[in-house]
């Protein structure tokens, strides 16, 4: 009998939770989203559940367009994770880095510093950013077009890898008797000169305890998948159902075969939204309670961003208007593909579509008992469309606590998840070379 595959679990920490109405609940932590102890507490819950990683997305613009805009990106992700590192011992730490706006030397130095401080717990999520508002905070009138952004991202990732490995601690050989600190001949400039970056090198910080920080990406466009195939160790994906997950896996596999290293493997972590309770009815009630507070205006605003058109006048109880094919779409492709998948799968009204998107924006959403939810998680793992999941709790800390207390034990009972951390780096824990 084939041994059951263990899976990886991470969590994307965001505001009061990924459901748009989470902050409106009487017991929400909305008053504390600017308190670092709140995020430290969430990370400690994840570590109590033996999670592989805590992850922060990022947006480098804040447009408080109305009184209910959530300032969910309060802290810089690297700074936030540095404080989290002080109150955790094992869980991986992944911030988001924008290649469109970041300096590779600075970014590599910050990441490697944190990686050394934590004995090899760090990864990084490479993005190209999404909005003109972000660009306008970085001396640009608008965001460069996608081909330009991804060309820059390719160069950025290449330079980062050179910086990450520019010298090793093995070259640090302090010896007072021999009057020697370094093997200086080992530490030489690599003198990168490209279209976007000129970097002499080497980095001031030596190579990571895990070789280099784990590289993660989330792009679903053709350009994004090609970049992931070339540089990523793992990808965050958006999949509403197993068919969409299978299509993404096939698209990524095809891109890998066409890359410079066609034999490499990349871990796939789809987003996962869970509502779990001892009974199916109780789990449904948890979702209904959050949905009851869902503001239609805010939900339409989110949908407008996903489809890159104004949805404010759409008839709520009528079918979703026709949308252009993904090939003609100019915005973030992953979420748009998911919206199209939900429409094809459910034929929803606009109001029903908003409900599906209210938590996690159309990621795999599982509602039920621990047994029901783990059944589906196992199916995705066994069919090879996922290596684990990136948890997106509808409410924080409550949905995260539910996952740790109810789903983790069921995974452990089935031999699908660890019962303790081993003495290993983040890279080793993910089973990466």
301/402 same-domain check: no
330/402 same-domain check: no
Task: Answer yes or no: is pLDDT of 289 > 50.
Answer: yes
pLDDT-based confidence at residue 357 (cuts at 50, 70, 90): confident
Average pLDDT, the chain: 94
Domain count, the chain: 2
pTM higher than the cut 0.75 = yes
127: in domain: yes
Task: Answer yes or no: is pLDDT of 219 > 80.
Answer: no
Q: What would the mean pLDDT of 375-390 be, rounded to a whole number?
A: 98
325/216 same-domain check: no
1: in domain: no
Domain residues for the domain of 48 are 8-141+205-276+363-429
Of 306, 329, 357, the last residue of a domain is 357
Would you state the pLDDT for residue 67?
87
331-349 pLDDT, tens digit each: 878 788 889 988 988 898 9
pLDDT-based confidence at residue 285 (cuts at 50, 70, 90): very high
β-pairing verdict for 234-237 and 53-55: unpaired
240/107 same-domain check: yes
84: in domain: yes
55-112 pLDDT, tens digit each: 999 999 998 878 888 899 999 999 999 999 999 999 999 999 999 999 999 999 999 9
Q: Residue 254: which CATH number?
A: 3.20.20.30
123-169 pLDDT, tens digit each: 999 999 989 999 999 999 999 999 999 999 999 999 999 999 999 99
Task: Answer yes or no: is pLDDT of 1 > 50.
Answer: no
Would you state the pLDDT for residue 268?
97
163: in domain: no
Task: Answer yes or no: is pLDDT of 203 > 70.
Answer: yes
370/353 same-domain check: no
Would you state the pLDDT for residue 131?
92
195: in domain: no
pLDDT-based confidence at residue 377 (cuts at 50, 70, 90): very high
**Sole residue written with tokens 């008797």:** 177
Q: What would the mean pLDDT of 13-18 be, rounded to a whole number?
A: 96
187: in domain: no
Task: Answer yes or no: is pLDDT of 301 > 90.
Answer: no
């Amino acid at each position: 009998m084939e041994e059951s595959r263990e899976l990886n679990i991470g969590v994307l920490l965001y505001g009061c939770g990924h459901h748009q109405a989470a902050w409106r609940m009487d017991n929400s932590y909305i008053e504390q989203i600017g308190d670092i102890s709140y995020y430290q507490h969430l990370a400690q819950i994840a570590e109590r559940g033996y999670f592989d990683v805590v992850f922060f997305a990022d947006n480098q613009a804040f447009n408080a367009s109305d009184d209910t805009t959530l300032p969910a990106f309060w802290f810089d992700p690297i700074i936030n994770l540095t404080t989290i590192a002080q109150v955790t011992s094992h869980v991986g730490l992944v911030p988001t880095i924008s290649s469109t706006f970041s300096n590779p030397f600075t970014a590599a130095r910050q990441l490697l510093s944190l990686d050394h401080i934590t004995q090899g717990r760090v990864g990084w999520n490479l993005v190209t950013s999404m909005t003109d508002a972000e660009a306008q905070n970085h001396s640009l009138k608008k965001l460069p077009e996608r081909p330009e952004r991804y060309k820059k991202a390719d160069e950025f990732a290449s330079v980062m890898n050179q910086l990450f490995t520019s010298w090793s601690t093995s070259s640090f050989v302090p010896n007072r008797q021999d009057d020697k600190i370094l093997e200086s001949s080992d530490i030489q400039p690599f003198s990168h000169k490209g279209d976007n970056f000129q970097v002499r090198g080497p980095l001031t910080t030596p190579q990571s305890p895990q070789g280099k920080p784990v590289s993660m990406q989330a792009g679903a466009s053709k350009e994004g998948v090609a970049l992931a195939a070339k540089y990523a160790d793992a990808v965050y994906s958006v999949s509403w159902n197993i068919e969409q997950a299978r299509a993404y896996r096939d698209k990524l596999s095809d891109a890998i075969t066409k890359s410079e290293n066609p034999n490499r493997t990349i871990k796939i972590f789809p987003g996962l939204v869970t509502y779990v309770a001892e009974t199916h009815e109780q789990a449904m009630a948890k979702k209904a309670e959050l949905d009851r507070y869902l503001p239609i205006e805010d939900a339409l605003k989110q949908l407008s961003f996903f489809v890159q058109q104004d949805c404010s006048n759409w008839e709520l109880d009528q079918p979703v208007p026709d949308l252009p094919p993904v090939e003609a779409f100019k915005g973030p492709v992953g979420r748009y593909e998911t919206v199209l998948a939900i429409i094809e799968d459910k034929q929803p009204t606009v109001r029903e579509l908003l409900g599906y998107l209210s938590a996690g924006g159309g990621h795999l959403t599982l509602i039920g008992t621990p047994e029901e939810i783990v059944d589906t998680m196992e199916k995705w793992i066994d069919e090879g469309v996922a290596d684990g999941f990136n948890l997106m709790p509808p409410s924080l800390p409550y949905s995260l606590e539910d996952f740790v207390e109810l789903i983790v034990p069921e995974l452990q009972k089935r031999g699908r998840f660890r019962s303790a951390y081993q003495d290993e780096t983040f890279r080793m824990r993910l089973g990466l070379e």
